Amino acid sequence: MAEMFIDCDAFFASCEQAINPSLRGKPVAVVGSAESTQRGVVTAKSREAKKYGITTGMPYFQAKKLMPNGYFIRGKPHVYLDFSRKLHDRLITYGKYVHPCSIDEFHISCPEGYESAVSIAEDFRAWTRNTLGITVTAGIADTRVLAKLASDMGKPDGLKLIPYEDISKEIDGLPVDDLPGIGYRTAATLAKRGVRTLGDLRAFPKELLRPLMGVRVDWLYDSIEGREPAYGWGLPFKTKSMSNDFTLLESTADEDVIKAHLLMIADNLAGRLAVEKMAARVAHLHLRYTDFNDVGGSFTIGYDMTLTDHIMDALLHLYKRIYVQGRTVRLVGAGVSGLTKEIQLRLPIDEESDIGRRIRDVLGDMSSRFGPASIRRASVACSTGMIANMVNPLTAGATLVKELK
């Protein structure tokens, strides 16, 4: 068994260079607003722009000073979603399990082992370069965590393997926070114990960390020793919460746009709850303003949330409580916790909930069969600018539309 992680290189900027070849080899930064407005932040940068010190999240005016002759381009969400759909469509032709982790990242399981994974990676990398005009990096290892780490090590435009017998040699010199799922708080906790590299962690007695980290310590050691953690990276053994963040390509104070992104996240969370057959009791909301100040809150409700409407009601309650009208938002995030197994307890007259479940199931079915860009609620598609990338429901989704009726 081999696990593979595909990560697109400088995805948004590479898409811009692909659709406009005159930008190839040029320093390109994708920003959330038109250049003439002199506002917004950098959401992506090309390799050439990176040499100027341009970083993601940098304000436009600062990036312009560092790269006065660079190309600053307004983001095109529908274009990036279209590229993502084409990548996903190509990956599923290999007949393996494919899980989209984000718009530009994919996890693929290859039961036949490394030889099969390498063959797929080489073919896919050649196809993306020759057909789409972008590059991707592939990481291959025995586990998903190490495959993700391998892809980070192989960037850009690379193919990196971490065979089981070479794990220590390949990763022990890396900083501990290079391991996917390790954030700055965990890294700081480990650093206080003198654990700064993955090699330090390997040599440190696990039981001395258990009082500080609980079951996460097992996840850590499983990851660096080449054992598949029970729930991939960042989720040790039991799913305690689910969340999604969405960085807006164009910062906005338009509340309809902000709420449309919340609805899109609520749809996603409802779908994930359905897959896990779980319900939630707590909703969380996270907003980041353009000055990088974060606000957030949580709300515990008296019933099990399983549907989009349930989650959205709770998020709107939080939104009214924490959002300051007129402030410009650049990131919207939401999540649920207090998870339990869903109990199917419905009354025959509960028609509204039944319709909600059917909508949720159709959204999930369409997304899994035709890709995440294949179906959106009309309000979400229009308000977020994604409508230009929607698959024609009269062709791809005709069967599912009939089923919903």
Contact 190, 208 (CB under 8 A): no
Residue whose structure tokens are 């312009």:
64
Residue 169 exposure: Cα atoms within 13 Å on the Cβ side: 6
Q: Cβ contacts of residue 120 below 8 Å, gap of 6+?
A: 4, 94, 96, 108, 110
Residue 230 lies in a domain: no
Q: What is the mean pLDDT of the chain?
A: 82
pLDDT score for 94 = 93
Residue 231 lies in a domain: no
**Mean pLDDT throughout 289-303?**
84
Regarding whether 396 and 247 lie in a shared domain, the answer is: yes
Residue 234 lies in a domain: no
**Mean pLDDT throughout 202-229?**
85
Regarding whether 62 and 112 lie in a shared domain, the answer is: no
Regarding whether 18 and 104 lie in a shared domain, the answer is: no
Most confident of 99-108, 237-246, 318-327: 318-327
Regarding whether 209 and 90 lie in a shared domain, the answer is: no
CA distances 337 to 44, 265, 313, 350, 363, Å, are 31, 14, 15, 25, 22
Regarding whether 85 and 66 lie in a shared domain, the answer is: no
Regarding whether 130 and 181 lie in a shared domain, the answer is: no
**What is the domain count for the chain?**
4
- Confidence category of residue 63, pLDDT binned at 50, 70, 90: very high
Q: Which candidate in 105, 115, 207, 351 is catalytic?
A: 105
Could you read off the pLDDT of 324-378 as tens digits, one per residue?
999 999 999 999 988 876 544 333 333 344 555 566 566 666 655 555 555 555 5
pLDDT score for 115 = 96
Amino acid at 158: G
Query: Which domain, by its residues, includes 25?
Result: 12-76
Measure the CA–CA gap between 3 and 148, rounded to whole angstroms: 9
* Between 233 and 85, residue with greater pLDDT: 85
Measure the CA–CA gap between 51 and 73, rounded to whole angstroms: 18
Regarding whether 381 and 281 lie in a shared domain, the answer is: yes
Could you read off the pLDDT of 214-225 as tens digits, one per residue?
777 888 888 899
Instruction: Judge whether 112 counts as a catalytic residue.
Output: no
Q: Find the helix or strand (DSSP H, E) in which 351 lies.
A: helix 351-370
254-260 — which CB contacts under 8 Å span 24+ positions? 255/323, 255/325, 256/383, 257/383, 257/384, 258/287, 258/319, 258/323, 258/329, 258/332, 259/316, 259/319, 259/383, 260/379, 260/380, 260/382, 260/383, 260/384
* Between 116 and 374, residue with greater pLDDT: 116
Query: In this model, does residue 398 exceed pLDDT 60?
Result: no
Regarding whether 292 and 400 lie in a shared domain, the answer is: yes
* Between 34 and 21, residue with greater pLDDT: 21
Measure the CA–CA gap between 4 and 118, rounded to whole angstroms: 9
Query: In this model, does residue 396 exceed pLDDT 80?
Result: no
- Confidence category of residue 160, pLDDT binned at 50, 70, 90: very high
- Number of Cβ within a 10 Å radius of residue 355: 13
Regarding whether 384 and 313 lie in a shared domain, the answer is: yes
- Of 76, 102, 129, the one marking the end of a domain is 76
Residue 269 lies in a domain: yes
CATH number for position 209: 1.10.150.20
Residue 100 lies in a domain: yes
- Of 56, 76, 96, the one marking the end of a domain is 76
**Mean pLDDT throughout 178-182?**
85
- 0.85 exceeded by pTM: no
pLDDT score for 102 = 79
**Mean pLDDT throughout 206-235?**
76
Could you read off the pLDDT of 263-283 as tens digits, one per residue?
989 988 888 888 777 888 899
Regarding whether 394 and 309 lie in a shared domain, the answer is: yes
Regarding whether 82 and 71 lie in a shared domain, the answer is: no
- Of 153, 168, 183, the one marking the end of a domain is 168
